[in-house]
Structure 1
Amino acid sequence: MQDLVVERRADAGGGLSAGRRLWITGQVQGVGFRPFLYRLAQRHALSGWARNTVGEVEVLVCGRLQAVENFAREVVSEAPAIAAPRIRRSEPWEGEAPEGFAILPSAAGATPRIFVPPDYFACDDCLAELNDPADRRFRYPFINCTQCGPRYTIIRALPYDRPNTSMDAFPLCAACLAEYRDPADRRFHAEPVACPACGPRLSWSAGADAAAEARGEQALAACIEAIAAGCLVAVKGIGGYHLVCDAANESAITRLRRLKPRPTKPLAVMFPLEGADGLDRVRQAATPTAEEAALLLSPQRPIVLLARCRGTLSEQLAPGLAELGVMLPYSPLHALLLDALGRPLVATSANISGEPVLTCGDEVEERLAHLVAGCLHHDRPIVRPADDPVWRRSAGALRPLRIGRGGAPAEIELAVPVPRPTLAVGAHMKNTIALAWEHRCVVSPHIGDMGSERSMEVFEQVAADLQALYGVRAQALVCDAHPGYATARWARRQGLPLQEVLHHHAHAAALAAEVPASGPLLVFTWDGVGYGGDGTLWGGEAFLGQPGHWRRVASFRPFRLPGGERAGREPWRSAAAMCWEAAVTWPGCPDADGLARAAWERNLNTPATTAVGRLFDAAAALSGTCLHASYEGEGPMRFEAAATGMEPGEACALPLGLDQDGVLRADWAQLLAPLQDTDLPLARRAAWFHESLALTAVAIYRAVSADAAVAGVGATGGVLQNRILAERMQALFKAVGVPLALPARLPANDAAIAFGQVVECAAAAARER
């Protein structure tokens, strides 16, 4: 916080008095900040006022000098838990001191400093009222206060006031209005405030059975009865609908997997709050560390991947994996359901695979009618979707795998400003978008995979909403260099200046923004596939340099993928192609009719790739772990699980050689035969494979640093979500005295591409100036 210089003058009693005007920015709207200021001013006997401007809070405080100084310190040090204030500006006040302290109506500011608040969980105070029969909000599923409840998903415009939210359709009753207007009340200007008399209501729909429809408490009871009976239901939450069923009911889970269809992809489980810290039921099924427990209980309430305890819940929840996606109830409605049923529930996004989560009741009933026995709706509109965030502990830290409800929009300060407001449209898979202006960059929640009409509709909505909410209109666009990406095609149609960024340059730039360095960085970008500078599909690259100036210094031996994109869901294709390329026999190859081999030999739809993700696919297939995948990354995930807890044994780095362009190439051929050796346990082969790749990264570093200055080393890309690989790389680099940087603020996967595109463009523009 900047030093506070206070104007001193004598008060009526002969002591020093002061007046100070503060502009407080950061996360200060939608978090109960103005009531906090009111109480803080009362505590220090200060007069003045506070009001929302566009994106920040302006405050005047007058009183004794020491009290004003204490107020200025405590504005930051004692702020509400979900706030993140920063004093942007402070100046003396020379006018008359007001009587008392008032909260003034919001005012528009000349220069927007907007921070859009994410959605929050249901706080302990509200949950206590929810379960208090004497409280007028007893069992009301939409209870909230200034410290909890929805934000991002109900805001239509800023400033964040009730008329600018989807709650504008619910006029406050006299009791709620009194709370809303009382600065001493914890619901003062809680914009979603409501009660059973004036707020949103539940409704239950059982498809064509009109007689089964119900409202309010009866709707909730009908939903509870359906889940208890083993049915699958759709439940409208904060940022979209969940598909919900009993996590211990094998037949219900089987039905969900068969009809969605989602045959093997892991399912998230929501646990009831029980015990002193709320995690007693979680610990019956998983073993959270203290850090993981704290994240589970945080206001974000994300899904956290935890080591599971076998035999406690259905193996169908995460087939072939050693972890379980765990979350706690984050809305009052979830709390009511879990308290009534007293058991963990599957709570997976209600969507068509890969698409954004569904938010509209009519669309849920139309598109998912074949799945569910009924739908628990409510009439508070969801303005835009926000899927559940996902985190995992890896390489000594908790790291995001997906950003969403409770943690996004995520703002990141840019070290190098963009020359003009820029919208980065991200990648094709795991899409997020980023809006940047000056030194600010805001990354959207997870949108999804861009292969459907609905995905593009939500993409366009979020792009428009970010610009409208932050009051920033993009004057330039940046997209991936892949000519076929739907997001890139959209960007080309907009008629704005457009810059293309290579997929893996964006990966490298996103990580480099987290690793300030005075010299060149060596960044490994290992993932599935991305369009490369030579027109092939990269994914096993190492770049030396800094954002805006990368030199490809290392890669893997390329091989041709029979079937192109089909290889992502058919790991055997990568394995077969590598065996054909290296003249290694694979008796288990599924290409019984020889069609794939014939296409490969004739170079028909067989794009060349260097992707480490495809190496993992091949390893999963050759080891017998996974020949066909029902979801992206299934083979590598199951192969990682097979290696968990196993020592790697004897392993060595892959051979390196320079190609004609001076790029180091790691040759994977020596991996193929040992992966098929069934005399070795699967766990041993899996651990050995991971170790070989980690050792190869160190070998690449040694070779590069022998000829060029390297100021730091990092690794990113979807493959670095693999905990065993990330931790072995980190340990091996540490052993040679080099810290390895891994993504911490954004996921290592393609969710970081939009941010990396912004960083890359800003750096390139700075070099031109």
Structure 2
Amino acid sequence: MKTFRWLLIGQVQGVGFRPFIYRLAMMFQLSGWVKNQLGQVEIVAQGNLEFLEKFSHDLLNKAPPLAKPKILLFESIELKPLNEFQILSSERTENAIIHVPPDYAPCQDCLAEFSDPSERRYQYPFINCTQCGPRFTIIESLPYDRQNTSMFNFPLCPDCQAEYENPNDRRFHAEPIACPICGPWFEFYSVQNTQYLPKLKGLKACVEALRVGEIVAVKGVGGYHLMCDACNDEAIKQLRKLKPRPHKPLAVLCPDDDTHELSNLKPFVTLEKHHIQFLRDPMRPIVMVNQSKNSPLSYQIAPGLADVGVMLPCSPLHVLLINTFGNPLVATSANVSGEPILTEAVEVEKRLGLMTKKCLHHNRPIVRPADDPVFRFIQGSPRPFRLGRGCTPKELTLPFELAQPTLAVGGHKKNTIALGFQNRVVISAHIGDLGSPRSQAVFEQVINDLQCLYNVQAKRVVCDAHSQYNSSRWAAKSGLPLYKVYHHHAHAAAVMGEFYSFQKESQYTLKSSPKKKTITGNRLESWLIFTWDGVGLGEDGTLWGGEAFYGQPGQWQRVGTIRSFAPPGADKAGREPWRSALAVCWETGHHWAEAEKIVTDYDLLQQAWKRQLNCPRTSAVGRLFDAAAALTGLVQKASFEGQGPMMLESVVSYQLSLSNNPIHENPITNDSLSIKKYLKIDLPIHTNSDDVKEIDWEPLIPMLLDTHESVPSKAACFHASLAHSLRDLACLIREEYGVTQIGLSGGVFQNRVLCESVFSLLHASNFNVFLGEQLPANDAALSFGQMIEMSLRDYLNF
């Protein structure tokens, strides 16, 4: 008879881990206990040594699918004989190792029960078990027990209580457990009739409203969606008009028909096997896919774009709604554009009253907002565009401990927060653009929320070097010691921090002594990182966005850039691509015949430009894409960030999808594009006055102005030329520095056509290439990059 004790950390709460341990102990006839200790699980098991060894093996190897346990401590202890195995009450500990579980879509067992008329939870929209249901969005505090969630106000009925206490039931200690008798319910509210319709009557009224083209606000897991018929042009036009959101793509909620091929979706979108598998991931992300030829989906969902974002139901309520409706629904975040998603019925009815007069509310409180995550497959892997419900909080591990708890507050757009402590970095869900009072309020809420949840108080704060970002302003007023990181240094650190041996503890360690801090193990190898995006403040005070950095976090050397230009109107250039188009033409002495039709006061504006009045120079590749979109006639005024570049990519992608040529098979030189003069243009690279190698885009301008060439051909040539110039620059830098590892970061690398061409060219030139898989390439990764930059400064004495 032996007694062993384990302490386990990782994702072991909210995933049915304690019930699993109980059943495992019963199988091997062991006595003892299992209990939560605020972020970790303690197991004491007593019994036959052979059975204990089998128990220890299965502990990790047969854990529940959603569990990710790690053994922190294992020891043999002396203990008097025990009579039974128990799940003990949770216990708070001083040095908690907290891991907050994300929300999960309904599992197959619950969906089968949900669809069975003989079950008492038949069509119950809040069905869940230990393997699915809400977690992060309902947790008030830890440990993760029912009394610490927003389900506390729903006392269990006798039947649910019996399931909760039955170790042989899959709802044994399932904290959000509920049923139609004791759990939450929904109701449909119509402002016109001031009418509340409960339960299935409300569902019927909601579906009827959707079928006649109305817009309905529907409460989900992490907030409300605005929904309407995805095949109804007029309904979507009305939604766009009222939101207002003239052109930005809208997500589409589709029913899951349980077939291997998702057959019901074939008329609407083109799905590959990896799309289907990822759509059914427990996080239920929005996945960007090509629309089918002659798709019944309204053109208004994604005007001018080849891709559309689709998702499967993320909650039983969504399953019930979409199955009853029977066809795809637009499901866009219920918010004022750019702000965080709304979670409260009162706020929805007050702030979105002009958009919809009908709402499907439910009475399970949402403790914190979580928007839908968005992914796109690039180079065969799902790349995140936005972190949210089901994949946050996102945690990454460092192989050393931070000097002190650190808060990184990200950038101004696509904002996220990162909290670093010990050897851990926790990244928040998407907050959004910090340009409104509500966004700022949620930003501050998330900062407080993360510190409270993880029981960590930040001792310093890191922000972007741009002092006018609202995140930087907050940091300056926080009273904490303040550190600043340049925008593109954070981008570079983010991709290197994700892929280098920060995630490989056995290969890279840092050790410190009172006198000296040194690196042991594999030293940080220097990388070449391309950071191509919109604009961010550079070290020289200008606006960067087409940079190449050599080095490592905390020690970057700018070795490459794109020729800069000066769009008139400063910040206005981000939403008016014609300004960038004018600038590149004026810079190179080319005449754009359409300009005077588009621009009022053309001569006055040119005079201001010549005097460099309100025309800050930028090397941003994003602005260069804007210029190309305008010169090809695609977009002159953008209604959302990145509209021009997205449309420029789409005219290439669309032609490729019609030709049935997979995007990864040489997307640029496809003959179906009918490229006549321009397959690619060689862009010269010279060394500028700052001793930095500079790509000159000037040869692209005559091609973009050529009225005899098709828009798809020009767009393809533009992409190909930039991809080849990046490869050429990388080869030149390798000759000087010997670098072989290349990272890609910044919003421009969300462009699949460009990115896959860059991968192909760099691989053919014997480079190793990395693009984020855990974090977005866009500004959502800045908070993590700031954290990595700060942590390496600590340990490398920079």
Match of 1:734 among 763, 771, 792: 763
Tell me by how many angstroms 1:98 deviates: 1.8
Q: What corresponds to 2:673 in structure 1?
A: none
Tell me by how many angstroms 1:620 deviates: 0.6
Secondary structure at the residue paired with 2:283? coil
Deviations 1:318-341 (A, max 9, x none): 111111111000101001111111
Q: What corresponds to 2:504 in structure 1?
A: none
Match of 2:136 among 140, 147, 152: 152
Secondary structure at the residue paired with 2:66? coil
Q: What corresponds to 2:466 in structure 1?
A: 482
Q: What corresponds to 1:399 in structure 2?
A: 383
- The 5-angstrom pairing of residues 120-135 of structure 1 reads 120-135=104-119
Match of 1:556 among 542, 553, 562: 562
1:288 aligns with 2:268: no
Deviations 1:205-230 (A, max 9, x none): 212422x2222222222212211222
Secondary structure at the residue paired with 1:169? coil
Q: What corresponds to 2:601 in structure 1?
A: 593
Secondary structure at the residue paired with 1:724? helix
Change (3 A) 1:255 1:264: same
Tell me by how many angstroms 1:726 deviates: 0.8
- The 5-angstrom pairing of residues 155-174 of structure 1 reads 155-174=139-158
Q: Give the Cα separation in 1 of the matches to 2:606 and 2:82.
A: 84
Tell me by how many angstroms 1:643 deviates: 1.6
Q: Give the Cα separation in 1 of the matches to 2:293 and 2:435.
A: 36
Q: What corresponds to 1:220 in structure 2?
A: 203
Q: Which moved more, 1:725-734 or 1:280-289?
A: 280-289
Tell me by how many angstroms 1:247 deviates: 1.0
Structure 1 runs of 4+ aligned residues shifted over 4 Å read: none
Tell me by how many angstroms 1:552 deviates: 0.6
Secondary structure at the residue paired with 1:167? coil
Deviations 1:9-37 (A, max 9, x none): xxxxxxxx432111111101011111111
1:537 aligns with 2:562: no
Tell me by how many angstroms 1:465 deviates: 0.6
- The 5-angstrom pairing of residues 175-254 of structure 1 reads 175-210=159-194, 212-254=195-237
- The 5-angstrom pairing of residues 11-50 of structure 1 reads 17-50=1-34
Q: What corresponds to 1:514 in structure 2?
A: 498
Identity %: 51
Q: Give the Cα separation in 2 of the matches to 1:457 and 1:146.
A: 33
Structural RMSD (CA): 1.4
Q: Which moved more, 1:748-757 or 1:110-119?
A: 110-119
Deviations 1:583-609 (A, max 9, x none): 111111122422432332232221111
Q: Give the Cα separation in 1 of the matches to 2:441 and 2:159.
A: 40
Change (3 A) 1:761 1:729: same
Deviations 1:487-520 (A, max 9, x none): 0000111100010000000000011113327421
Q: Which moved more, 1:213-222 or 1:276-285?
A: 276-285
1:318 aligns with 2:326: no
Aligned length: 752
Tell me by how many angstroms 1:480 deviates: 0.4
Tell me by how many angstroms 1:671 deviates: 0.8
Q: Which moved more, 1:328-337 or 1:554-563?
A: 554-563
Q: Give the Cα separation in 2 of the matches to 1:278 and 1:456.
A: 43
Tell me by how many angstroms 1:169 deviates: 1.6
Q: Give the Cα separation in 2 of the matches to 1:177 and 1:298.
A: 30
Deviations 1:211-265 (A, max 9, x none): x222222222221221122211000000000001111112211111111111111
Tell me by how many angstroms 1:622 deviates: 0.6
Deviations 1:699-754 (A, max 9, x none): 21122222223241111100000011111111111111112111111010001000
Q: What corresponds to 1:390 in structure 2?
A: 374
Contact 2:577/2:629 (<8 A) preserved: yes
1:71 aligns with 2:79: no
1:358 aligns with 2:334: no
Q: What corresponds to 2:704 in structure 1?
A: 675
Match of 1:423 among 401, 407, 420: 407
Deviations 1:614-665 (A, max 9, x none): 0100011111111111111111011001122264453244211222221111
Contact 2:102/2:135 (<8 A) preserved: yes
1:641 aligns with 2:630: no
Normalised to the residue count of structure 2, the TM-score between the two structures is: 0.92
Structure 2 unaligned spans of 5+:
501-522, 657-666, 670-677
Q: What corresponds to 1:696 in structure 2?
A: 725
Tell me by how many angstroms 1:297 deviates: 0.6
Change (3 A) 1:418 1:204: same
Contact 2:533/2:748 (<8 A) preserved: yes
Q: What corresponds to 2:581 in structure 1?
A: 575
Q: Give the Cα separation in 2 of the matches to 1:34 and 1:283.
A: 41
Q: Give the Cα separation in 2 of the matches to 1:202 and 1:559.
A: 55
Q: Give the Cα separation in 1 of the matches to 2:765 and 2:611.
A: 45
Tell me by how many angstroms 1:760 deviates: 0.0
Q: Which moved more, 1:471-480 or 1:598-607?
A: 598-607
Q: What corresponds to 2:663 in structure 1?
A: none
> Match of 1:271, as an amino acid?
C
Match of 1:616 among 616, 622, 625: 625
Contact 1:103/1:183 (<8 A) preserved: no
Secondary structure at the residue paired with 2:10? strand
Contact 2:681/2:700 (<8 A) preserved: no
Q: What corresponds to 1:528 in structure 2?
A: 534
Deviations 1:42-92 (A, max 9, x none): 222222210011101111112222221121121211111111111121001
Normalised to the residue count of structure 1, the TM-score between the two structures is: 0.96
Change (3 A) 1:160 1:416: same
1:712 aligns with 2:741: yes
> Match of 1:257, as an amino acid?
R
Structure 1 unaligned spans of 5+:
1-16
Q: Which moved more, 1:752-761 or 1:39-48?
A: 39-48
1:625 aligns with 2:608: no
